[in-house]
Structure 1
C-alpha cells in the first residue's frame, strides 16, 4: 500500500502542475479577449494601449503607435463641436506632480527628452542638449524649454475634460506613459498655445507624422472628442507618414 500511495501521490502532483501551467497570467485588455465587447469596441480598446502597433524610426515620444493604429483610433473618436471654456482653470489640472527622488514631472521629462542631462541635488536640470520637436531648434539651456501638453489642458477641457474629476485631470496633466508631454522650445510652445491641429501645426513638417499620431493616441485614451476640421488636419498629418 505504501508504494501504491506514493505512486498515486506523484500522479496527482503531476496533474496539478499541468493544470497550473495552463492558467498563465490573468487575462487583460490586450490578451485578445473581447470580454463581451463587440469586435469594433475591442479593436478600439486595443488601439488605445500605449505602444500598440509599435513606434516608428525617429519617434521621440513614449507610447507611440503605428500609422494604421492611429487611423483606427481617429476613426473611433466622437466628432462634435468644441464646448465652451466656462469654468476652466489651469489650476484644475494639478501639475507638476511629484515623481519621487525630489523630481517633479517637468524634471523627469527634461531628463528623458535630453542628451547628457545633469541634475543637481534637487533634481533640477543643470546642463544638457535638447532638440525641440516642433521647430527643430537645439536648446542647451533648460530655462528656455517648456514642457508642452500635446493635447493642451484648455483644449482637453473643451473636448470632454470639463466633466472629469480632479484625479483624472491630474493624471492627464502629468501623463508620462502616453505621448502627452514633451520638452520643446518655449517660443514654439507659446506659439501653439491651446490650439488644436487645424489651427496650429509645428513649423517643422517632418514632425507632423509623429504629432498626428501622438495627438490621436492621447485623445483616444482619454475619450476626448474632435471637431471635423481637427480630424481633417490630423488625417493630413498622418498622410505625411512614410508608408
Structure 2
C-alpha cells in the first residue's frame, strides 16, 4: 500500500500553489485567498452594477464544469480540502485519508472529508442569473474552479445544502461573526467576475459589512 503523503506534496498547478502556506502542520484557517478588507469591499460594492436578477432559464450545473484537474492527480475539490484542512494526508489518488476541517460558516469541525462540501461562495445558479449565462463554457469552468480568489471554501455539508443558490438577502452563515468576511468574499467574487447585484442583495451586503 502506498505510504500516505500530505495532500500538499506535489501540487504544482498555479491554483494549488496558492495553498502551500495554508496547511503545513499548523492549525488551518479556512479562509480562501484574496478576501478584501472592509474599505476595499465597500469600494468594490459601490462599483458593482445594480440590476434585477435575470432568468434561471437554461441553467444547468453541467454548464459550469467542475471539479477540474489541478495536476498530480488532484482536482479542485481536493486542492481546497488541502488548503482549508489541518494535517491533511492523502494517498496517491490525492483523496484525503486523514485530517480535520473547521467550517467557518457554523464553527463545527469534521474529520471525514465526506462531511465537508466545497462551497461556491457565489453559487453557480446565482452567477448564471447575474451574468454568467452569457459566458462561454470555458469561462464558466474557470469561475467554478476559481482558486485565485475567495470563491471556494470548505464548509459543513448540510449548511452548504441549506444555502443552496441563495443570495445574502436570503441566506447568511449561522455564525454572525463571519458575516463581514462572507460579505467581503461575495462582493469580491462579483467584482472580479463582473456579475450584477440586485437591490435586496446590495442592501444585505452593506448591512453585513457593518459587522466588520
TM-score by length of 2: 0.85
- Residue correspondence of structure 1 range 1-243 to structure 2 within 5 A: 60-241=31-212
Q: Deviations over 1:131-163 (max 9, x none)?
A: 111111111110111100000000000000000
Task: Classify 1:156/1:181 alpha carbon distance in 2 versus 1 (closer, same or farther; 3 Å).
Answer: same
Instruction: Point out where structure 1 has 5 or more consecutive residues left out of the alignment.
Output: 1-57
Q: In structure 2, what is the Cα distance between the partners aligned to 1:94 and 1:212?
A: 25
C-alpha RMSD over aligned residues: 0.9
Instruction: Point out where structure 2 has 5 or more consecutive residues left out of the alignment.
Output: 1-28
TM-score by length of 1: 0.75
Is the 2:30–2:85 Cα contact (8 Å) retained in structure 1? no
Name whichever structure is richer in helix by fraction: 1
Q: Deviations over 1:177-233 (max 9, x none)?
A: 100001101011000000000000000011111100000000000000001010101
Runs of 4+ in structure 1 off by over 6 angstroms are none
Q: Which of 1 and 2 has greater Rg?
A: 1
Report how far residue 66 of structure 1 moved. 1.1
SS in 2 for 1:130: strand
Q: Which has the higher contact order (CA 8 A, sep 6+)?
A: 2
Is the 1:59–1:210 Cα contact (8 Å) retained in structure 2? no
